Structure 1
Amino acid sequence: MKTRIINRSGSSMSEIGFGCAGAGNLYRPVSYEDFSAAACKASELGIEYFDTAPHYGGGLSERRLGVALGDIPHQQVFVSTKVGRLLHPDHFVEQKDAEGFVSASPFDREYNYTYDGVMRSFEDSLQRLGVSHVDMLLMHDIGELTHKEQHAMYFQQAINGGFKAMMELREQGLVSNIGLGVNEWQICDQAMNYAQFDCFMVANCFTLLNNNITHTFTDKCSDNNVSLIAAAPFNSGILAKGSKNLGHYLYGEAPKDIVDKVIAIESICKQFNVSLQAAAIQYALRYDCVKSVLIGMTNENRVKQNIVWYEEPIPEAFWQALAPVIYSS
């Protein structure tokens, strides 16, 4: 698999990344055996990049990933995790269903973007992962989409302390790259005024259906030597299942205008004999500032299928025909 270089740090990562939210039992239980087999198959087939977070299953995803990658030399993998939530044990349950994660670890989450909160979260993650350092540390879910009227308070926490903590960890060599992991690119634009970031992970907003990030922000990232990771290329399902099977869109039901847009994209895919899923995965990689596309995976078959779509040949004429559809208002 091809790799790309994070501009500012020089770190290398595979063009396809393995998202580990599913390892935290997102929406449904996933066995450790299935997840471990998937992670090992991904590594065997050239996927180096693995992303997790304390939020995923209340620490379950980090624990499982640490064990699954335990026998793979660290120099052969690139691991990112996140800060912004502290985990507190719920002493009255053995497993916990919370925020979409089922039968997960018995921990409650507390948003905390302070200096001390980031440092504690990072130390806890190292223990769950069983490592002494990570390749990338991302501040998780900062922004109005998550915090609404409390956004200003949490963003100020980050400005006053969280960003400083992340930069210190990078200076100490405990992390190689720092950035944000969010669902709205606009907060990345704002955060660039307060810290020197290496990379931003943007989920659900660098896709065939949502791409206003390309109007100005991709150029700004290139001009400032900041790299991007495009997560959730299927927009939580609809670009994987198509208009007939109607997968989720942004974690909910797809509205009619989105379904109509998917139908229009499918028509061009049929004209050029290109699969919708291949177009969804390869789209963001057409931008030089994008270093990896992160896809959630929970079993070996999904790993192998995603790589097939990633490797599917797509002619340039397809992208030219598609542009008026995906960039229309």
Structure 2
Amino acid sequence: MKTRIINSSGSSITEIGFGCAGAGNLFRPVSYENICGAVLKASELGVQYFDTAPHYGAGLSERRLGLALGETLHQDIFLSTKVGRLLHPDCKVDQKEADGFVGASPFDREYNYTYDGVMRSFEDSLQRLGVSHIDMLLMHDIGELTHKEQHVMYFQQAIEGGFRAMMELRDQGLVRNIGLGVNEWQICDQAMNHAQFDCFMVANCFTLLNNDITHTFTDKCSKNNVSLIAAAPFNSGILAKGSKNLGHYFYGEAPKDIVDKVIAIESICDQFDVSLQAAAIQYALRYDCVKSVLIGMTNEDRVIQNIAWYEESIPEAFWQALAPIIYSS
């Protein structure tokens, strides 16, 4: 599998990354055997980048990923996790269901972007993963989309403490890259004024259906030596299932204008004999500032299929014919 280099640090990362939200039982329970099989198959097929977070299953995803990687040498993988939530045990239950995660670990989540909160979250993640350092540490879900009227308070926490903690961890060699992991690229733009970041992970907003990030921000990232990771290329389902099967869009029902846009994209795909899913995966990689596309995977078959879509040949004429559709307002 091809790799790209994160500009500021020189870290090498595979163009396809393995997203581990499903390992935390997002929306439905998934067995450890399936997760372990998927991780091993991905490694076998060349995927070296694995991403998780304390939020995913309240620590379940990190524990499972650490076990699945087993004796794999850290030098052979690129590992990222996140900070921004602390986990507190709930002794009244054996499992919890919250935020879309079912059968999750028995912990409550607390948003915390302070210096101490970031340091504690990082140390807890190291223990769950069974590693001594992290290749990339991302501040998770900061922004107005998640926090609404509390955004200003939490962003101030990050500015006054959390960002400083992340930079110290990088200076100490415990983390090689720092950034944000969010669903809105605009908060990345704001955060660049307060710290020197290496990479931003943007989910659901660097896709065939949502790409206003390309208007000015991709150029700004290139000029400031900041790399991007495009997560959730299927927009939570609809670009994987297509207009006929109508998967989720931003975790909910797809509105008519989005369905119409998918139908228009599918017509170009049919014209050039290109899979919708292949176009969705390969789209963001056409930008030099994008270093990897992160895809959620929960079993071996999905790993094999996603890599096949990534490797599918797409002619340049296809992208030229698609441009008026995907860049229309």
| TM-score clears 0.5 | yes
Q: Which residue of 1 aligns with 2:52?
A: 52
Counterpart amino acid of 2:178? I
Q: Which residue of 1 aligns with 2:153?
A: 153
Counterpart amino acid of 1:72? T
1:262-277 aligned at under 5 Å gives the runs 262-277=262-277
Distance (Å, rounded) in 1 between the aligned partners of 2:68 and 2:310:
24
Query: Residue by residue, what CA displacement relative to the aligned partner does 1:153-179 show, whole Å, maximum 9, x if unpaired?
Result: 000000000000000000000000000
- Secondary structure at the aligned position of 1:239 is classed as helix
1:166-177 aligned at under 5 Å gives the runs 166-177=166-177
Once the two structures are TM-superposed, the CA of residue 73 in structure 1 deviates from its matched residue by 1.2
Once the two structures are TM-superposed, the CA of residue 72 in structure 1 deviates from its matched residue by 1.2
1:171-210 aligned at under 5 Å gives the runs 171-210=171-210
Distance (Å, rounded) in 1 between the aligned partners of 2:141 and 2:267:
35
Distance (Å, rounded) in 2 between the aligned partners of 1:192 and 1:284:
21
- Secondary structure at the aligned position of 1:228 is classed as strand
Scaled by the length of structure 2, the TM-score of the pair is 1.00
Q: Which residue of 2 aligns with 1:225?
A: 225
Q: Residue 78 in 1 paired to residue 78 in 2?
A: yes
Q: Which runs of 5+ in 1 are unaligned?
A: none
Distance (Å, rounded) in 2 between the aligned partners of 1:81 and 1:63:
12
Per mean C-alpha deviation after superposition, the further-off stretch among 222-231 and 63-72 is: 63-72
- Secondary structure at the aligned position of 2:322 is classed as helix
Distance (Å, rounded) in 2 between the aligned partners of 1:70 and 1:76:
12
Distance (Å, rounded) in 2 between the aligned partners of 1:206 and 1:74:
29
Counterpart amino acid of 2:280? A
- Secondary structure at the aligned position of 1:120 is classed as helix
Q: Which residue of 2 aligns with 1:131?
A: 131
Once the two structures are TM-superposed, the CA of residue 70 in structure 1 deviates from its matched residue by 1.6
Counterpart amino acid of 1:187? I
- Secondary structure at the aligned position of 1:110 is classed as strand
Percent identity of equivalent pairs? 87
Distance (Å, rounded) in 2 between the aligned partners of 1:73 and 1:103:
30
Counterpart amino acid of 1:121? S
Counterpart amino acid of 1:80? S
Distance (Å, rounded) in 1 between the aligned partners of 2:64 and 2:125:
12
Runs of 4 or more off by more than 4 Å in structure 1? none
Once the two structures are TM-superposed, the CA of residue 229 in structure 1 deviates from its matched residue by 0.1
- Secondary structure at the aligned position of 2:57 is classed as coil
Distance (Å, rounded) in 1 between the aligned partners of 2:61 and 2:172:
26
Query: Residue by residue, what CA displacement relative to the aligned partner does 1:266-288 show, whole Å, maximum 9, x if unpaired?
Result: 00000000000000000000000
- Secondary structure at the aligned position of 2:30 is classed as coil
Q: Residue 88 in 1 paired to residue 75 in 2?
A: no
Q: Residue 36 in 1 paired to residue 6 in 2?
A: no
Q: Which residue of 2 aligns with 1:21?
A: 21
Once the two structures are TM-superposed, the CA of residue 54 in structure 1 deviates from its matched residue by 0.1
Distance (Å, rounded) in 2 between the aligned partners of 1:216 and 1:47:
30
Distance (Å, rounded) in 1 between the aligned partners of 2:49 and 2:180:
16
Q: Which residue of 1 aligns with 2:312?
A: 312
Query: Residue by residue, what CA displacement relative to the aligned partner does 1:284-308 show, whole Å, maximum 9, x if unpaired?
Result: 0000000000000000000000000
Q: Which residue of 2 aligns with 1:212?
A: 212
Q: Which residue of 1 aligns with 2:241?
A: 241
Once the two structures are TM-superposed, the CA of residue 224 in structure 1 deviates from its matched residue by 0.3
Q: Which runs of 5+ in 2 are unaligned?
A: none
Query: Residue by residue, what CA displacement relative to the aligned partner does 1:80-108 show, whole Å, maximum 9, x if unpaired?
Result: 00000000000000011111000110000
Distance (Å, rounded) in 1 between the aligned partners of 2:130 and 2:71:
12
Distance (Å, rounded) in 2 between the aligned partners of 1:104 and 1:193:
36
Distance (Å, rounded) in 2 between the aligned partners of 1:258 and 1:161:
39
Once the two structures are TM-superposed, the CA of residue 116 in structure 1 deviates from its matched residue by 0.2
Scaled by the length of structure 1, the TM-score of the pair is 1.00
Q: Which residue of 1 aligns with 2:2?
A: 2
Distance (Å, rounded) in 2 between the aligned partners of 1:90 and 1:27:
21
Once the two structures are TM-superposed, the CA of residue 71 in structure 1 deviates from its matched residue by 1.8
Distance (Å, rounded) in 2 between the aligned partners of 1:44 and 1:169:
31
- Secondary structure at the aligned position of 1:27 is classed as coil
Counterpart amino acid of 2:92? F
